[in-house]
Structure formats: structure tokens, C-alpha cells
Amino acid sequence: MLVSILYSEMTYWLLGTAIVFTLVGRRLAIKDDVETIVGNTIDSLIAQGYIKTDGQGKDMQILKYWESKSKN
């Protein structure tokens, strides 16, 4: 009975589905990790003064090296 369960067509379909969705999940997790790491790195560079910014919160803009902060 165990042999018929292990070597059935349904078992192969379930195994294939598990492999596909494991790979999809890993890819999505890696993408999310990259976005988090980049965001944290930029926030750290701003806090340490390596990147000039203008504004606060969602209105913050990164300035080019020759630009200065607005006087608003």
C-alpha cells in the first residue's frame, strides 16, 4: 500500500507543486529583503550626513551634490 502511494501520479503532482511554490516564495522573500536592506542603507547614510536631503517624511527629496536646501 505504501508503495502505491509513493509512486502514484498524484504524489508527483504534489511534489512538483511544492517545489514550484517553494522557489516562488524564496524569490519573493529575496526581493523583499533587498528592498529592506537598500532602504535601511539609504536611511543610515542620510542620518550620518553622507546624503543631503530636503524636506521631511514622505516629502523628503535627495539633493544632488551641487544643490542646496530650499528656504521654505
- pLDDT for 8-67, tens place per residue? 889 999 999 999 999 999 998 888 889 899 999 999 999 998 999 988 888 888 888 888
What is the rounded CA–CA span in Å between residue 66 and residue 58?
A: 22
62's CB contacts (< 8 A; 6+ apart) are 51, 52, 53
13's CB contacts (< 8 A; 6+ apart) are none
What is the rounded CA–CA span in Å between residue 39 and residue 66?
A: 23
Nearest Cα residue to 67 out of 53, 46, 55, 49? 53
What's the pLDDT at 29? Answer: 87
